[in-house]
């Protein structure tokens, strides 16, 4: 908590100066945030909570509107076409701004049609197997998959999400034939792994089951190790040149006035720094991954190019 607050001090002070008189009147009415996923998931829940806290500083309600469809593209496209006045925002995730635009035409350009405001979270994704499975490491699992082409199945929370894309890259680079079994969300995918309906899972939300000894975590898709399981390697540490930078952030349409953008970033940054929000995130097993606006913008551009290159190099298409 202390480290996170200190990290924000300089950024928030700069934002206070940037807001200035030009943004003093904003906002004058409720702010709508489109969540391009269904209600009840961790993306939706976390956005509702941070919006509730940010609204106290903004002085206006932050109203969440769920607009699922087409891997988040439907909701994001609607936000991108909205007036750049700061009253229509959206929740951005990797599947929507990295993966979908890399695999097929979408009605918005993530580099030109969005204004990144702040990233506040992003689930850890891992390769998990039942606790009594024979594989003790990712290397053992992949060796078995190589020896049994087309036999091993894995659960994901949807087709062409970050986990599925990562496994497609692994399959291409490691000469494997694995079978994806997509589910409608992480909870059902996790249940399938626990019930041994699939060989393994590539998903988030596994912490409680790993701690309880029901699942074994073999590797993380993320660039960093998970503090809760410090001995578990990342894909890169396990010899696979890939990582899935899971994001969960707030974006607006292109052309937001600098003062409005700064006002929003300040309010959401302060909300993310509260113990109330961090405690809530712990209850839904979501990590804090705060990236301020400009750095968030740079990350989106960098990762989109990386995904597009991987899709082209490995022939991944939707």
CA distance readout (Å), 260 to 75, 85, 140, 240 = 22, 8, 52, 42
Q: How far apart (Å, rounded) are the C-alpha atoms in residues 31 and 50?
A: 13
Ranges of H-type helices in 100-156:
100-103, 138-147
Q: Is residue 232 part of a domain?
A: no
Q: Is residue 296 part of a domain?
A: yes
- Which helix (H) or strand (E) segment holds residue 43: the answer is helix 42-58
Same domain, 307 and 273: yes
Which domain does 114 fall in, by range? Answer: 2-122+247-314
Place of tokens 């839904």: 284
Same domain, 286 and 260: yes
Q: Is residue 13 part of a domain?
A: yes
Model's pTM, two decimal places? 0.82
CA distance readout (Å), 49 to 4, 56, 73, 87, 266 = 18, 12, 23, 18, 16
Same domain, 84 and 152: no
User: What DSSP letter does each residue of 70-103 carry, written as one string?
Assistant: TTTHHHHHHHHTS-SSSSEEEEEEHIIIIIHHHH
Which pLDDT does position 184 carry in this prediction?
74
Same domain, 20 and 39: yes
Q: Is residue 236 part of a domain?
A: no
Same domain, 15 and 117: yes
274 neighbors 53 (Cβ within 8 angstroms)? yes
204 neighbors 123 (Cβ within 8 angstroms)? yes
Which pLDDT does position 10 carry in this prediction?
53
Q: Is residue 240 part of a domain?
A: no
Q: Is residue 164 part of a domain?
A: yes
Q: Is residue 235 part of a domain?
A: no
Same domain, 116 and 167: no
Stretches in the chain below the pLDDT threshold 70: 1-24
Which residues have CB under 8 Å from 300's CB, separation 6+?
92, 97, 98, 110, 111, 114, 116, 247
Which pLDDT does position 139 carry in this prediction?
97
Same domain, 113 and 177: no
Same domain, 187 and 174: yes
Domain of residue 46, CATH code: 3.40.190.150
Which pLDDT does position 85 carry in this prediction?
97
Domain of residue 130, CATH code: 3.40.190.10
Strands 200-203 and 288-292, sheet pairing: unpaired
Which residues have CB under 8 Å from 217's CB, separation 6+?
126, 127, 128, 206, 210, 229, 232
Counting the structural domains of the chain, the total is 2
Residue length of the chain: 318
Same domain, 215 and 276: no
Same domain, 205 and 133: yes
Same domain, 197 and 287: no
253-271 residue pLDDT tens: 999 999 999 999 999 999 9
33-76 residue pLDDT tens: 999 988 888 889 999 999 999 999 999 999 999 998 888 899 99
Same domain, 287 and 302: yes
């Amino acid at each position: 908590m202390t480290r996170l607050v200190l990290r924000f001090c300089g950024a928030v002070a700069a934002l206070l100066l940037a807001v200035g008189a030009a943004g003093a009147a904003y906002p004058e009415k409720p702010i709508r945030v489109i969540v391009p996923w269904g209600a009840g998931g961790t993306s939706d829940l976390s956005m509702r909570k941070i919006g509730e806290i940010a609204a106290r500083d903004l002085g206006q309600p932050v109203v969440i509107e769920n607009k699922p469809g087409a891997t988040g593209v439907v909701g994001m496209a609607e936000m991108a076409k909205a007036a750049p006045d700061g009253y229509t925002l959206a929740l951005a995730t990797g599947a929507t701004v990295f993966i979908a635009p890399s695999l097929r035409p979408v009605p918005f350009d993530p580099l030109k049609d969005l204004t990144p405001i702040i990233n506040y979270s992003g689930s850890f994704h891992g390769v998990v197997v039942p606790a009594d499975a024979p594989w003790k490491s990712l290397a053992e699992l992949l060796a078995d998959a190589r020896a049994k082409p087309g036999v091993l199945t894995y659960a994901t929370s949807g087709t062409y999400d970050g986990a599925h894309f990562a496994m497609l890259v692994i399959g291409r680079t490691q000469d494997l034939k694995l079978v994806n079994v997509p589910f409608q969300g992480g909870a059902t995918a996790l249940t399938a792994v626990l019930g041994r309906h699939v060989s393994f899972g590539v998903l988030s939300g596994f912490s409680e089951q790993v701690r309880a000894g029901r699942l074994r975590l073999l590797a993380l898709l993320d660039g960093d190790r998970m503090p809760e399981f410090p001995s578990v390697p990342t894909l890169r540490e396990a010899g696979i040149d890939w990582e899935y930078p899971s994001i969960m952030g707030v974006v607006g349409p292109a052309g937001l006035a600098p003062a409005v953008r700064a006002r929003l970033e300040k309010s959401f940054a302060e909300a993310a720094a509260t113990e109330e929000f961090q405690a809530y995130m712990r209850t839904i097993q979501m990590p804090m991954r705060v990236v301020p606006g400009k750095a968030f913008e740079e990350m989106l551009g960098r990762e989109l190019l990386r995904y597009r290159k991987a899709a082209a190099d490995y022939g991944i298409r939707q």
